[in-house]
Amino acid sequence: MISLLRGKIAEKSLGKIVIDIHGVGYGVTVPLSTYYRLPERGSETELKIYTHMKGDGIELFGFLTEDERRIFTSLLGVAGVGPRVATNILSSISPGELVSAISSGDLVKKKIPGIGPKLASRLITELKDKVSMIQPAGDDREKMEILEDIISALINLGYKRSEIDERISQLQEVTLKEKDIEKALKESLKIMRRV
């Protein structure tokens, strides 16, 4: 079972990457919560891996943090949630938001594609007691939420995801340094305006 991959990003497309480790390319599916924090192609990265065994082979799912992987595996423990649905959930809502929506019971109100009220209720019921163990560290959660807010703001201002993706590592640096969302957005706009 593969638990960790460290190597260069050989290919990168929305939700999928290939990591080159000594000339062998490993295809890895990543939720958007991880994808938007990955560096550019050719950069070194390390991913925590969940290995999913299927009838026709294996599929690898990658995460930047152990907390994301823990949340993913907790989601898989709920009936009706497979790896694709769990990836979809983490692509639609940040791990921090997911944990607080489960804790508060507000997950039913969130609009997550493919997650209806029944499944949302089941997630709340089955995971409510476990969320304290899968709570992302406050600082990491805050940084992820700031980056997601910046991405959302840039999209609302008319930038395309592909443009944002090209500069994601620079945007991530801004959110690591700047906790004030307004200042982070100003810095991010300067980065986006550079040609």
Domain boundaries, the chain: 4-63, 67-134, 138-193
pLDDT at 173 over 70: yes
Q: What span, in angstroms and rounded, lies between the C-alpha atoms of 23 and 61? A: 20
Half-sphere exposure of 83 (CA within 13 A, CB side): 16
Q: What percent of the chain has pLDDT over 90?
A: 26
Q: Which residues of 150-182 are buried (b: 16+ CB within 10 A; e: fewer)?
A: bbeebeeeebeeeebbebbeebbebbeebeeee
Q: Tokens 């910046």 belong to which residue?
A: 150
Q: pLDDT digits over 82-118, tens only?
A: 999 999 998 888 777 788 788 888 888 888 877 888 9
pLDDT at 133 over 70: no
DSSP string of 110-126, one letter each residue: S--TT--HHHHHHHHHH
From the candidate CATH numbers 1.10.287.110, 1.10.530.10, 1.10.150.20, 1.10.1060.10, the one assigned to the domain spanning 67-134:
1.10.150.20
Q: With bands split at pLDDT 50, 70 and 90, how would you rate the model's confidence at 143? A: low
pLDDT at 30 over 90: yes
From the candidate CATH numbers 2.40.170.20, 3.10.20.30, 2.70.98.10, 2.40.50.140, the one assigned to the domain spanning 4-63:
2.40.50.140
pLDDT at 135: 53
> Is this prediction's pTM over 0.75?
no
